[in-house]
């Protein structure tokens, strides 16, 4: 079983060193246009490949953002960093961001750690319907926005950082497609907040989200917990600088690969006989645990287990590597009690699926809004045993 984890780690490292092979990665992002000032053209050090050799990242802004990531997470070649080191880096990035704020902004961005209302104030909905707390990206100065991105780069893996930026960029595309005067979409409509003050030892939480995105990251000393988080995208496929970008492309394709890799008998068990048109455990359903269904992963052979873990890693691997590796090992240890269910055709992006085990629930639900279900994807990532890091925080 350990071999499976190692394989995924190797694949992850391979992706980091060959991002042109990763669908949706390395997209041209104009998330923070000012970032290109003074950064573009520099070549990152360490083992990160020279970006001019990567076709998808020739764009100056892309180079800037990936360089920002490389600065924050300086050495990919050594594999997972010690969790404690990473927590210290995250705390440093958070304190750097806080130092850019005035007193009123600091008051607005930090909530008490036990603020139960703010903890659950997240949604997939457009921001004008939610009433997000914290600071709105569109209200921040360029340097402050840059500091937020440094913070995200420090707490997320490279894959996770790129996924998040891709989701935000897709919302910008949605805004530009809108015919109304002030659509509640786009890069400016994301919010950053903390519950508790950044600390290398005491529990605290980072929230970053808006339409189609809710990252709830609890940090408690060496522990890092990403659940519950909502990862969604619309449009799920768009073109930027002549390249096709699919922020949730890998999970879409990996799920199809997995269902096709099952035997006929396994697939029959996995496929539910009913249509699943939405998430069951989306926003507002904290603490609920539905009865698992589908096929038991305990029946899978080694290849099928590996495919399932690679699929799960698309969510568990959004957080930084040290936390992600520990989480994937935890999930792998309970694979015998994990279930995989599927509803819909055996086509990419057209079917609902769910992975459910004692320490993980992942739901992926294409949405019928707008016609093409493959263009509007919702997913939810939960840990029924440890949402909001309650194992470590008592919240």
Partner 1 sequence: MNSWLLGCLLLVLAAPSDALAHRLDEYLQATRVSVATNRIDLSIDLTPGVAIASQLLAVIDADQDGQVSKAEATAYAQRFLKDLQVALDEASLALSLTDISFPALHEVRGGLGVIRIKASAPVRSLAPGSHTFGLTNSHLPAISVYLVNALVTRDPAISITKQTRDELQKYYRLEFQVAAAP
Q: Residue numbers of the site for partner 1 (CB under 8 A)?
A: 125-126, 129, 174, 177-180, 183-185, 211, 234, 272-278, 280, 284, 288-291, 293, 368-370
DSSP state letter for 130: T
DSSP 156: B
d(Cα 187, Cα 30) in Å, to the nearest integer? Answer: 9
How far from the centroid of its chain's Cα atoms is residue 224's Cα? 14
Q: In this structure, what is the dihedral angle of CA atoms 303, 307, 308, 310, given to the nearest 10 degrees?
A: 130
Least distance between partner 1 and beta carbon 65 (Å): 25
Q: DSSP assignment, residue 377?
A: E
Contact 14, 20 (CB under 8 A): no
Structure tokens at 5: 């984890």
Spatial distance between the Cα atoms of 68 and 64, rounded to a whole number of angstroms: 6
Q: 223: part of which helix (H) or strand (E)?
A: strand 223-225
Nearest distance in Å: CB 228, partner 1? 17
Q: Which helix (H) or strand (E) holds 325?
A: helix 321-333
Q: How far is the CB of 19 from partner 1 (least distance, A)?
A: 29
User: Minimum distance between the CB of residue 337 and partner 1, rounded to whole angstroms?
Assistant: 12
User: Closer to partner 1 at the Cβ: 159 or 271?
Assistant: 271
Nearest alpha-carbon partner for 243 in 169, 159, 168? 169
Q: Which residue, 114 or 278, has its beta carbon nearer to partner 1?
A: 278
Q: Which residue lies nearer to partner 1 by CB, 160 or 228? A: 228
Dist. CA 376–CA 104, nearest whole Å: 37
Rounded to the nearest whole angstrom, what is the least distance from the CB of residue 276 to partner 1 in the complex?
Answer: 7
Closer CB to partner 1, 84 or 289, in the complex: 289
For partner 1, the closer CB: 211 or 320 = 211
Pairing of strands 223-225, 229-233: unpaired
In angstroms, rounded to a whole number, what is the distance separating the alpha carbons of residues 88 and 222?
A: 9
| Smallest separation, CB 342 to partner 1 (Å) | 14
DSSP category for residue 137: G
Residue with structure tokens 């890998």?
250
Alpha carbon distance 278, 275 (integer Å): 9
Minimum distance between the CB of residue 183 and partner 1, rounded to whole angstroms?
5
What is the rounded CA–CA span in Å between residue 225 and residue 220?
A: 9
Nearer to partner 1, 143 or 370 (CB): 370
Residue whose tokens read 């919302």: 171
Beta bridge partners of 223: 220
CA distance 93 to 72: 9
DSSP-derived letter for residue 340 is E
> Which CB, 71 or 280, lies closer to partner 1?
280
Torsion sign, CA atoms 326, 285, 221, 71: positive
Nearer to partner 1, 78 or 129 (CB): 129
Min separation Cβ 226 and partner 1, Å? 22
Closest CB to partner 1 among 145 and 212? 212
Please state the closest distance from residue 227 (CB atom) to partner 1, in A: 17
Q: How far is the CB of 179 from partner 1 (least distance, A)?
A: 4
CA dist 381 and 331 (Å) reads 13
Cβ closest to partner 1, residue 10 vs residue 368: 368
């Amino acid at each position: 079983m350990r071999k499976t984890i190692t394989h995924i780690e190797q694949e992850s490292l391979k992706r980091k060193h060959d991002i042109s092979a990763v669908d949706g990665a390395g997209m041209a992002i104009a998330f923070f246009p000012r970032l290109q000032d003074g950064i573009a053209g520099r070549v990152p050090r360490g083992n990160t490949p020279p970006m001019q050799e990567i076709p998808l990242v020739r764009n100056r802004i892309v180079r800037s953002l990936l360089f920002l990531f490389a600065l924050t997470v300086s050495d990919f070649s050594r594999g997972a960093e010690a969790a404690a080191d990473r927590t210290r880096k995250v705390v440093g990035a958070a304190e750097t961001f806080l130092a850019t704020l005035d007193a009123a902004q600091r008051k607005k961005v930090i909530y008490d750690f036990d603020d139960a209302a703010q903890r659950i104030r997240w949604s997939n909905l457009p921001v004008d319907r939610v009433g997000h707390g914290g600071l709105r990206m569109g209200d921040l100065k360029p340097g402050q926005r840059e500091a937020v991105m440094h913070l995200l780069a420090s707490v997320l893996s490279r894959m996770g950082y790129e996924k998040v930026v891709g989701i935000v960029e897709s919302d910008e595309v949605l805004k530009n497609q809108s015919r109304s005067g002030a659509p509640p979409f786009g890069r400016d409509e994301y919010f950053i907040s903390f519950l508790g003050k950044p600390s290398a030892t005491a529990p605290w939480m980072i929230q970053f989200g808006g339409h189609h995105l809710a990252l709830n990251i609890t940090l408690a000393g060496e522990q890092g917990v990403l659940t519950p988080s909502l990862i969604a995208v619309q449009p799920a496929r768009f073109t930027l600088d002549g390249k096709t970008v699919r922020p949730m492309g890998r999970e879409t394709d990996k799920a199809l690969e997995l269902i096709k890799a099952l035997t006929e008998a396994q697939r029959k068990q996995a496929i539910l006989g009913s249509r699943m048109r939405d998430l069951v455990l989306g926003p507002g359903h904290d603490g609920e645990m539905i009865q698992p269904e589908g096929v038991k992963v305990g029946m899978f052979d080694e290849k099928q287990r590996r495919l399932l873990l690679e699929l799960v890693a698309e969510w568990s691997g959004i957080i930084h590597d040290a936390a992600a590796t520990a989480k994937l090992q935890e999930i792998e240890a309970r694979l015998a009690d994990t279930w995989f269910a599927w509803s819909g055709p055996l086509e990419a992006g057209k079917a609902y699926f769910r992975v459910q085990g004692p320490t993980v629930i992942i739901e992926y639900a294409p949405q019928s809004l707008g016609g093409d279900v493959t263009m509007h994807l919702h997913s939810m990532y939960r840990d029924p045993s440890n949402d909001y890091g309650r194992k470590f925080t008592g919240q």
